[in-house]
Structure 1
Amino acid sequence: MTVGTNIQELGLTKQREVVLQVIRHSEHHLTANEVFSGSKALLPSISFATVYNSLRYLKEAGHIAEIKFGNGASRFDRMTSRHDHALCTRCGKIVDIQMDLPPELVAQAERESQFRTESVEFTLRGICPECVGKV
């Protein structure tokens, strides 16, 4: 599924449509709490449990991606195609990066770790331009 796919064409419940709409219209990678707040503004009767279950369903159906950086709450991404991220260690900003990792880098990591690769996620951690400007 692409970001441009019409939500109504997916045959989702109203609640799942709202959750997907909130994620698709955000320029950020939202936490479940942020998705809940945005969903509540559009559909006041929606519960947190419904949002949480909708996130799980939408992820399993391939409509959204879940990102775990190991430093707190999961984030949800409207972009489901393979891509990487840059994470600001000061403000928490997350930026999508479109790049191809050299196959030899993955092969070297496999040799050194003796792991068989299932997936590769690259996260660049550093300080974003806005935070650098504040120093």
Structure 2
Amino acid sequence: MEICITSLLREKGFKVTPQRLAIYNMLASTHSHPNAEMIFNELQAMYPTMSLATVYKTMEILKEIGLVKILNAGEDSFRYDADTSDHPHVRCMECGQVEDVDNIDSVDFVKQVAQGTNYKLVNQQFYFYGICPSCQRKELN
């Protein structure tokens, strides 16, 4: 994985830094869809000189070279996903957790939107909102 990002960064004219590699590796190893502050807090102990601005800049670079997706799940800050395939997400309205929704085929819906609008669709993001199972259990207590 690191070889891929290293060569992509160099190929696109960006410096390869330990912080950039750590940010991508952290993101690629989680399904929690963290925001920049979460990434910063996770890596702060290992990279004490890294700033929050470095995380934001790295996310923009990684988006530009196609390694991350930026998610807007209706919060004050963006979330990030190393899975760049088109897939929906669900966000808990209680705890804020954002998860992938697997095994949903949205191809027909996307076709309907394209036909109904005459747009040539190039991308889409689907978000669902609800209460996660953990928060539902807390509500019962």
CA distance in 2: counterparts of 1:87 and 1:115, whole angstroms: 30
Contact 1:62 1:80 in 2 (8 A): yes
Which residue in the other structure is 2:76 paired with? 72
Q: CA deviation at 1:72?
A: 1.6
Structure 2 matches for 1:31-50, cutoff 5 A?
Answer: 31-50=35-54
- Which amino acid letter does the alignment assign opposite residue 16 of structure 1? R
- Which amino acid letter does the alignment assign opposite residue 7 of structure 1? E
CA distance in 2: counterparts of 1:40 and 1:106, whole angstroms: 40
- TM (norm. structure 1) is 0.82
Which residue in the other structure is 1:100 paired with? 105
**Residue of structure 2 aligned with 1:24, choices 17, 25, 28:** 28
Q: CA deviation at 1:25?
A: 2.7
Mark the CA change 1:22 to 1:102 in structure 2 (over 3 Å): closer, same or farther. Answer: closer
Q: CA deviation at 1:61?
A: 0.9
Q: CA deviation at 1:110?
A: 4.4
**Residue of structure 2 aligned with 1:7, choices 2, 11, 23:** 2
- TM (norm. structure 2) is 0.79
Contact 1:32 1:74 in 2 (8 A): yes
1:54 aligns with 2:58: yes
The gaps in structure 2 that reach 5 residues or longer are: 7-15
SS in 2 for 1:41: coil
**Residue of structure 1 aligned with 2:125, choices 101, 106, 121:** 121
**C-alpha RMSD over aligned residues:** 1.9
Contact 2:23 2:39 in 1 (8 A): yes
